[in-house]
Amino acid sequence: MGTGHLQIDLDALVANWKALDAASGAQVETAATVKADGYGLGVGKVARALSRAGVNRFFIAVAEEGAAMREALGPSPEIFVYSGHMPGDSDMIGDLHLTPMLNSIEQLTRHFEALPGHPFGVQLDSGMNRLGLEPAEWAAARPIVEAQGPALLQSHLACADEPDSEMNRAQLQQFIEMTEGMNTPRSIAATGGILLGPDYHLEMTRPGIGLYGGAPFDDAHPVAHLSLPVIQTRDVEPGEPVGYGCTWTAEEPTRVATVSGGYADGIIRAMGNKAVLFDGDVPCPLVGRVSMDLLTIDITHLDHVPSHLDLLCEHQTVDDIADVAGTIGYEILTSLGARYARRYSGGQG
């Protein structure tokens, strides 16, 4: 088999949800954000495992993601859509019974006209300036919204992964002011917000990245494990180059393993000449550029030729390789390619 093996540990996913649920506090509902195909790990398996573990409310980015969710979960769990109610969404929102988080006066109008009486939530902009009604718009819309009985009011923190940022407190304050006097459940905390402490938990939290083993949830169990098969090895003499552009040249006799996996599989090209793969506990440096389908790895120091080398393993997290590539764990996970042989373990409990 020429493809890499992506092993997804659903027990670790469930353990991460339980830990974030415990951190959210007993009175607070802990939902789950499963947008972008469950952060690249397969939304059907992810959502089913979380549902079995007791998650009743899920968040996706766009209504189109709702079909796979309903297929996985059946009719009862509540599914919120962050992008709200877009033109052309009404049938999907109605048929799949999705709950759009309405972001603007335009979306409120569209929703109330197309699907009167259908559940909805409202997203308020507390300072991130990305999605949601701003304070003045909200002041105008609030009486109509209150009359319709929203399911949820939410806002989103711009700097939740920076606990010392003044932005966090300011956004929380703004959100609390905007929702004063309403008895609708409120949510401002994703993974980072949960870790900021109880002031941020309100009535519901909605973690994403922490479930999948990513920062800022430092105590997360890793969920994705990626192992790449060695296709061929060769001995390279001093002065000989390796790979496209000849960006790496051997300084001493070097044994190079060519491994199946490349930027088409989400192994970000910026990792060239920087990343390491592991043979068990032993790091092996990536030499030369990342190709579309291949990596070249220095295994001179090994006393055997391994059948596989690991990119994601107990010694290397999604955030470790994100640092190497100059990105974040979110991008590593959501870039994991479609070519891997995916195997799921656990998640039955």
Ligand X SMILES: *Cc1c(COP(=O)(O)O)cnc(C)c1O
- Residue 212: DSSP 8-state: G
Strands (E), the chain: 5-9, 29-30, 32-33, 57-60, 78-81, 99-102, 121-123, 153-154, 186-187, 204-205, 224-236, 241-242, 248-249, 254-260, 276-279, 282-285, 294-298, 308-312, 341-345
**Which residue, 298 or 319, has its beta carbon nearer to ligand X?**
319
Comparing CA positions, the residue from 316, 212, 231 lying closest to residue 267 is: 316
Interface pick for ligand X out of 10, 47, 196, 209 (rule CB under 6 A): 209
- Residue-by-residue DSSP string for 100-166: EEE-SHHHHHHHHHHSTT---EEEB-SSS-SSSB-HHHHHHHHHHHHHH--S-EE---SSTT-TT-H
- Please state the closest distance from residue 264 (CB atom) to ligand X, in A: 25
User: Which residue, 82 or 263, has its beta carbon nearer to ligand X?
Assistant: 82
The single residue among 191, 254, 296, 317 that binds ligand X, judged by CB under 6 A, is 191
Question: What kind and span of H or E run contains 321?
Answer: helix 318-325
Stretch in the footprint of ligand X (CB under 6 A) among 21-29, 184-192, 232-240, 304-312? 184-192
Residue nearest ligand X (C-beta atom): 208
Closest CA to 322 of 164, 227, 216, 199: 216
Query: How far is it, in rounded angstroms, from Cα 264 to Cα 247?
Result: 20
Question: CB-based burial of residue 120 (10 Å sphere; 0-12 exposed, 13-18 middle, 19+ buried)?
Answer: buried
User: Do residues 137 and 105 make contact, with C-beta atoms less than 8 angstroms apart?
Assistant: yes
- Shortest Å, Cβ 151 to ligand X: 15
CB of 150 or CB of 207, closer to ligand X: 207
For residue 130, the minimal CB distance to ligand X (Å) is 8
Q: Which stretch binds ligand X (CB under 6 A): 203-211, 256-264, 286-294, 332-340?
A: 203-211
Site for ligand X in 150-169 (CB under 6 A): 156
Segment near ligand X (CB under 6 A), from 47-55, 205-213, 297-305, 313-321? 205-213
Q: How far is the CB of 99 from ligand X (least distance, A)?
A: 14
Annotated binding site for substrate: 130, 292
* Part of the chain binding ligand X (CB under 6 A), chosen from 207-215, 236-244, 267-275, 283-291: 207-215
Beta carbons within 8 Å of 304's beta carbon, 6+ residues apart: none
Mask for 72-91, x = binds ligand X (CB under 6 A): ----------x---------
263: annotated active-site residue = no
Active site residue 244: yes
207 binds ligand X (CB under 6 A): yes
CA distance 9 to 46: 10
Shortest separation between residue 175's beta carbon and ligand X, angstroms: 13
Contact flags string 30-59 toward ligand X, x per CB under 6 A:
---x-x------------------------
Of the residues 212, 244, 274, 340, only one is catalytic, namely 244
Total residues in contact with ligand X, by rule CB under 6 A: 12
The Cα–Cα gap between 128 and 64 comes to 25
Buried b (16+ CB within 10 A) or exposed e, 255-288: bbbbbbbbbebbbbeebbeebbbbbeeeebbbbb
Kindly state whether residue 201 participates in binding ligand X, applying the rule CB under 6 A.
Answer: no
By CB under 6 A, is residue 23 in contact with ligand X? no
Stretch 289-328 residues interacting with ligand X (CB under 6 A): none
**Which residue has tokens 């009535």?**
203
Considering the candidates 35, 39, 263, 344, report the single residue annotated as catalytic. Answer: 35
| Shortest Å, Cβ 335 to ligand X | 15
Inter-residue contact 8 to 344 (CB < 8 Å): yes
Closest distance of CB 109 from ligand X, Å: 22
Which residues belong to the active site?
A: 35, 244
Contact footprint for ligand X (CB under 6 A): 33, 35, 82, 156, 190-192, 206-210
